[in-house]
Copies of this chain bind each other. A is one copy, B any other.
Amino acid sequence: MQEMLDLAVQVEGLDGLELVGNWHVNDDNIYEVAEMFSDRGLKICMLTPDLWTQAKWGRGSLAAPDAPTRQAAIDEVRKVMDWAAELDCPYIDVWPGQDGFDYCFQADYIEAWQWFREGLTACAGHNSKVRILVEYKPKEPRTHCFVNSAAKTLLLLDSMDNVGVLLDVGHAIYAGENIAEAAALLSSYGKLDYVHLNDNYRSWDDDMMVGAVHLVEYLELVYWLRRLDYQGWLTLDIFPYREDGVAAATQSREWIEAFFRAVDRVGMDEFAQVIGRADACEAVDLVRRAMNI
């Protein structure tokens, strides 16, 4: 962890890091972890319960077909909420990657949906200092995850006040969503709580640097984040498999700043006017001017 944090501070503009429960934090090291972060002026922006790496989650967590596993998942989420509260971390990220199915005839869709809602409800009120965020993803490790789109997540969380949504931009892209539309939809339901940034080639969670592929879509997203007055974290969730991690994070931050510059270059009003006219030729002209190419 020390090593990770020492690398992290080399990334200019980095204010915090996400941690995973049991991987990085446990009952024994919690105060030590808090100190390592405060020593470096870093925040813990997210604590994620590990609901996917251990064998016991092999057939699901909150929506597993057997009741004891579902209860174990609820217990795990609650425990991590308490750790988060101790660490002054306002969010936990429930990413139900193992809840889904690989083959047809392997899931009872009606029951799974109810189990999910019951499990989240059972967790939601556990610790009022911590808000649960659900992170949707279309697939992997399952070939089909149940919670696979912005709209389905909103439907799942209907009437759960203390539960919000984590929008992972890469997940939205390979779920076939327009990412700005996803952000706007979540925001209009009061549930655009947190954003993960990365990029991919639309068919898999490649976790590439920002700036890799979707320049137009990212520009539109950044415009909408500003328009929606999004004040939350912009966190990198990249996986620099062959790259230097500090360099990859730095490049991603440079691209994000470039998109904000591009929005400023044209100005919020002009964006609004072009959108209002719904004219494709004006739209591509706007993008070219904003990009400054």
Residues of A within 8 A of B (CB): 58-60, 65, 101-110, 113, 138-141, 143-144, 148-149, 151-152, 154-155, 158, 175-176, 178, 180-181, 184-185, 187-188, 200-204, 206, 208-209, 211-213, 215-217, 219-220, 223-224, 240-244, 247-248, 250-251, 254-255, 258-259, 261-262, 271, 274-281, 283-288, 290-293
Contacts and interface: CB of A to CB of B under 8 A. Distances in A.
A181 B152 CA distance: 12
A149 B101 CA distance: 19
Nearest to A283: B105
Contact of A251 (B110, B180, B185, B285): B285
Contacts of A104: 178, 180, 216-217, 219-220, 283, 287
Contacts of A178: 101, 104, 144
Contact of A280 (B65, B248, B259, B277): B248
Nearest to A138: B176
A285 B254 contact: yes
Interface centre among A65, A202, A242 (most CB of B within 10 A): A242
Nearest to A220: B104
A215 B290 CA distance: 13
Copy count, this protein chain? 4
A216 B213 contact: yes
Contacts of A154: 151, 155
A270 to B, nearest CB: 10
Contacts of A60: 278
Nearest to A244: B281
Given A152-B151, A281-B243, A284-B209, A276 B65 contact: yes
Contacts of A139: 201, 204
A208 B280 CA distance: 10
A201 B100 CA distance: 14
Contacts of A261: 293
A233 B277 CA distance: 34
